[in-house]
Amino acid sequence: MAFRRGGDTLEKLELIYKGAEAYLFKSTFLDTDVIVKYRLPKPYRDPLLDRRIRRDRTILEARIIARVKELGVPVPALYMVDPEKAIIIMEYIHGIRLKELINHANISTIETYVREVGRSIGIMHSAGIVHGDLTTSNIIVKEGTPYIIDFGLAQYSDELEDKGVDIHLFLRSLESTHPRFVDRLFKAFMKGYEEIVGSRGKESILEKVREIRMRGRYVEERRLRKQ
């Protein structure tokens, strides 16, 4: 696969992630390490509809990344967007995923990182932006700064439900992969979040998270009863 625009050429792509919605490649562009995200066509959809969906989703993701960066949240820089090809070229963040750091670094240091993530999400939520897939795998720490990545499911929303889902997903990722540190890290996250949204905003979102968790337990209990 090669991508050309104007006099610039992007080639020798190294596939680093193969997902259901998109492939991620590592490459170089203008002598800079980059990630190339290519949204895959869906053969079961009408070709014209598929092209429009992939185009619109690419535009939305790029706009959200640009807006979040304007807000001061550490995210990859955008280098090029081609909506017609459903391609985004963005900065490759040289760092370590938070998921990997948690089990190897000093827990107090991790708390500092997670608190900053909480602040970043508080800033995004205050601006009406939700991430949609907030896990410790989608946070990369570079030189002491946690960067939020993968905005493929991000959207504009002021709904408390959508914001609650963000927080719930982060809590679930802690519970599933870092059970020893759940309480400390979630507390640090919410402390950072509260610094942006205030105590009332924090309590509202925590109430929504509790509601989401209760709904999940209810569905699981009904599923088990039917077995």
Q: What is the pTM of this model?
A: 0.90
Phi and psi at residue 70, to the nearest 5°: -60, -30
- As given in the structure block, the two tokens for residue 17 are 């992630």
pLDDT at 9: 59
Tell me, yes or no, if 133 is annotated catalytic. Answer: yes
pLDDT at 200: 97
Buried/exposed 158-189: b ≥16 CB within 10 Å, e otherwise: eeeebbbbbbbbbbbbbeebbeebbebbbebb
From 8, 133, 162, 166, the catalytic residue: 133
Q: What is the pLDDT of residue 146?
A: 98
pLDDT at 30: 83
How many C-beta atoms lie closer than 10 Å to residue 73's C-beta? Answer: 22
Q: E strands of 83-211, at which residues?
A: 87-91, 96-97, 129-130, 139-142, 145-148, 155-156
Mean pLDDT by groups of 10 residues along the chain of 227 residues: 52 86 92 94 93 97 98 97 96 96 90 98 98 97 97 97 97 93 97 98 97 72 48
Where do the DSSP E strands lie in the chain? Answer: 3-5, 8-10, 14-18, 22-29, 32-39, 78-82, 87-91, 96-97, 129-130, 139-142, 145-148, 155-156
Question: What fold characterizes domain 96-226?
Answer: Transferase(Phosphotransferase); domain 1 (1.10.510)
CA 197 to chain centre: 20
- Domain covering 3-91, topology: Phosphorylase Kinase; domain 1 (3.30.200)
- Edge-to-edge strand order for the sheet containing 96-97? 96-97, 139-142, 145-148
Return the pLDDT at 183: 96
Residue spans per domain, the chain: 3-91, 96-226
